[in-house]
Copies of this chain bind each other. A is one copy, B any other.
Amino acid sequence: MDIHKQFFKSAFSVDSVIFGYDQGDLKVLLIYRGAKPYIGTWALPGDLVKLDEDLDDSARRILFDLTGLSNVFMDQIHTFGKVDRHPLGRVITVAYFSLVKIIDYKLNPSSWAKEAKWHSIVNTPNLPFDHTEILNYAKNKLKERVRHQPIGFELLPKEFTLSDIQNLYESVLEINLDKRNFRKKLLAMSLLIDTGYFQISVAHRPARLYRFDKKKYKSLIQQGFSFEL
């Protein structure tokens, strides 16, 4: 039980599953590893946690270094700790997932990545370490969360159409939804603000643009409201 016994033999890292949504497709941001081990493969972005850095800050740092984004939705998923998951030592990793609006994002691959690229979730390459397991875990968590919390909006631009949000739900959940019923349910929550504006330059009837009302959501939550889609 002497806590010092183990201090020189192990480490912990953070890995981030960064989701984006674009052109009707759910995407994940992968880096092309420029460092050992598994140099030259696509992988989840991650890094060792610094000694003077809170775990959550570490996840934020990784996201910021890679995308320049802060103030992004982020949540811890799970911690992966099989003995042999890392070839160079005993490293457990805490997985996080983030939801970013791709439109806001600027590529800024950091030292350990030669390149960073969005990959469609339906067609991701094989990943090193236990990253495939982590990614699947993240996809399932996202499915659960999106039904119980209004986090889908984090993936869309500030103004969006009802079809946008429905398509997003269909991509994430991998199901089809009835248009009229989906709208009825969503609008009944009164969490969308009608901007009064419409799409422009589309080759069909333009759709109304809405914004998500975060303030209202927070106040409803205080009153025991629970989001469900």
Q: Which residues in A have some Cβ–Cβ distance to B below 8 Å?
A: 1, 3-12, 35, 47-56, 58, 76, 78-83, 86, 88-92, 94, 111-112
Contacts and interface: CB of A to CB of B under 8 A. Distances in A.
Nearest to A56: B81
Nearest to A8: B8
Nearest to A49: B81
Contacts of A49: 10, 81, 92
A92 B10 contact: no
B90 A9 contact: no
A137 to B, nearest CB: 11
A54 B83 contact: yes
A79 B82 contact: no
A3 B53 CA distance: 16
A85 B225 CA distance: 33
Contacts of A94: 79, 81, 92
Given A10-B12, A76-B79, A94-B79, A4 B51 contact: no
Contacts of A4: 88-89
A79 B80 CA distance: 10
B48 A12 contact: no
19 contacts: A1-B35, A1-B47, A1-B111, A1-B112, A3-B11, A3-B91, A4-B88, A4-B89, A6-B51, A12-B92, A49-B92, A51-B83, A51-B90, A53-B83, A55-B82, A76-B78, A79-B79, A79-B94, A81-B94
A156 B172 CA distance: 37
A7 B90 CA distance: 9
Contact of A83 (B3, B52, B92): B52
A102 to B, nearest CB: 27
Contacts of A82: 54-55
A6 B94 CA distance: 16
